[in-house]
Amino acid sequence: MQARSIGDVRVGAIGLGGMPMSIEGRPDEERSVATIHAALDAGVTLIDTADAYHLTAIDVGHNETLIARAVAGYGGDTSEVLIATKGGHLRPGDGSWTQNGSPEYLKRACDASLKRLGVEAIGLYQFHRPDPTVPYADSVGAIRDLLDAGKIRYAGISNANPEQIRLANEILGGRLVSVQNQFSPAFRSSEPELELCAELGIAFLPWSPLGGISNAGRLGSRFAAFQQVAQDHGVSPQQVCLAWMLAKAPVVIPIPGSSRPETIRDSVASAELELSADEFSRLDAA
């Protein structure tokens, strides 16, 4: 698979999003492990997770534990695999998502993620979402402290606007390596953040790139241009969607979620799908 950069690490251009394997509707562990192993077989070296990808209050970190176990149990070389996790969101167990961006909490959350992932330093640690009750600079200051303490190798943010991206990069002393925002054919309002990341050379990780767990399968029926280009190439509209994102800028690294080996294999194939300039313009305008 073609490679892209996160900081000075090269990763496969398509990552794996872990969320569908740990929240509502998650499959059994055997299928999840098969999915993660299929991703590794296909050359995926970026796996995105979060401490908040779990169902009930007693299985916090379900996705981190699952991914750590699956990677450890893989037969091949995993030395190049970058596991990217996040802190700052919580799930009390009633289906809701709450937030805590206080520096004390983020440092505790990072320690817990370190234990679950079984590493001395987390590959990429992302502040999950700005907490309106905590100054953004304080939350990002905690991420800087974690970086300085060597508890995380790389620092990222998520759900940030251009002003927050610039502020975070300043607080981190130019060491912000990634921004993870929602971006898909149905949700394009992160274009300014994508463009800013391209300008600054910061990786941009589109989340829910296919429209989210419940909409991903309907991408072709919702967006005729994606269906048409897919038919012309004899591939899935989801593959076309990911190829379109990759073509937008060299900093883009989509992280499609998967809970089945077939879907991550199909997504990885998008890294080899070449779109003509005309196809790209039609998709961009769709």
Ligand X SMILES: NC(=O)c1ccc[n+]([C@@H]2O[C@H](COP(=O)([O-])OP(=O)(O)OC[C@H]3O[C@@H](n4cnc5c(N)ncnc54)[C@H](OP(=O)(O)O)[C@@H]3O)[C@@H](O)[C@H]2O)c1
Enzyme catalytic residues = 53
If DSSP codes are grouped into helix, strand and coil, which group holds residue 17? Answer: strand
Determine if 168 is a binding residue for ligand X (CB under 6 A).
Answer: no
Determine if 18 is a binding residue for ligand X (CB under 6 A).
Answer: yes
Distance CA 19, CA 130 (A): 20
Considering only residues 34 to 93 of the shown chain, the ones binding ligand X according to CB under 6 A are: 48
Determine if 180 is a binding residue for ligand X (CB under 6 A).
Answer: yes
Q: Which residues contact 73 (CB under 8 A, 6 or more apart)?
A: 33
Stretch that binds ligand X, among 37-45, 116-124, 132-140, 213-221 (CB under 6 A): 213-221
Chosen residue from 131, 193, 266, 279 binding ligand X by CB under 6 A: 266
Determine if 253 is a binding residue for ligand X (CB under 6 A).
Answer: no
Chosen residue from 32, 65, 159, 190 binding ligand X by CB under 6 A: 159
Nearer to ligand X, 150 or 191 (CB): 191
Chosen residue from 7, 87, 130, 211 binding ligand X by CB under 6 A: 211
Q: Give the rounded distance of the alpha carbon of 133 from its chain centre.
A: 25
If DSSP codes are grouped into helix, strand and coil, which group holds residue 86? Answer: strand
Main-chain phi, psi angles of 110, to 5 degrees: -65, -40
Distance CA 64, CA 48 (A): 9
Nearer to ligand X, 139 or 180 (CB): 180
Distance CA 82, CA 171 (A): 24
Stretch that binds ligand X, among 74-82, 102-110, 144-152, 234-242 (CB under 6 A): 234-242
Stretch that binds ligand X, among 161-169, 196-204, 243-251, 258-266 (CB under 6 A): 258-266
Q: Dihedral, CA atoms, 181, 184, 189, 191, nearest 10 degrees? A: 80
Residue 256 DSSP class: -
Q: Which residues contact 39 (CB under 8 A, 6 or more apart)?
A: 16, 47, 258, 264, 268
Chosen residue from 7, 20, 61, 130 binding ligand X by CB under 6 A: 20
Residue 202 DSSP class: -
Residue nearest to ligand X (CB): 257
Contact 135, 101 (CB under 8 A): no
Chosen residue from 103, 141, 217, 250 binding ligand X by CB under 6 A: 217
Contact set with ligand X (CB under 6 A): 17-20, 48, 128-129, 158-159, 180, 207-213, 216-217, 236, 238-239, 255-260, 263, 266-267
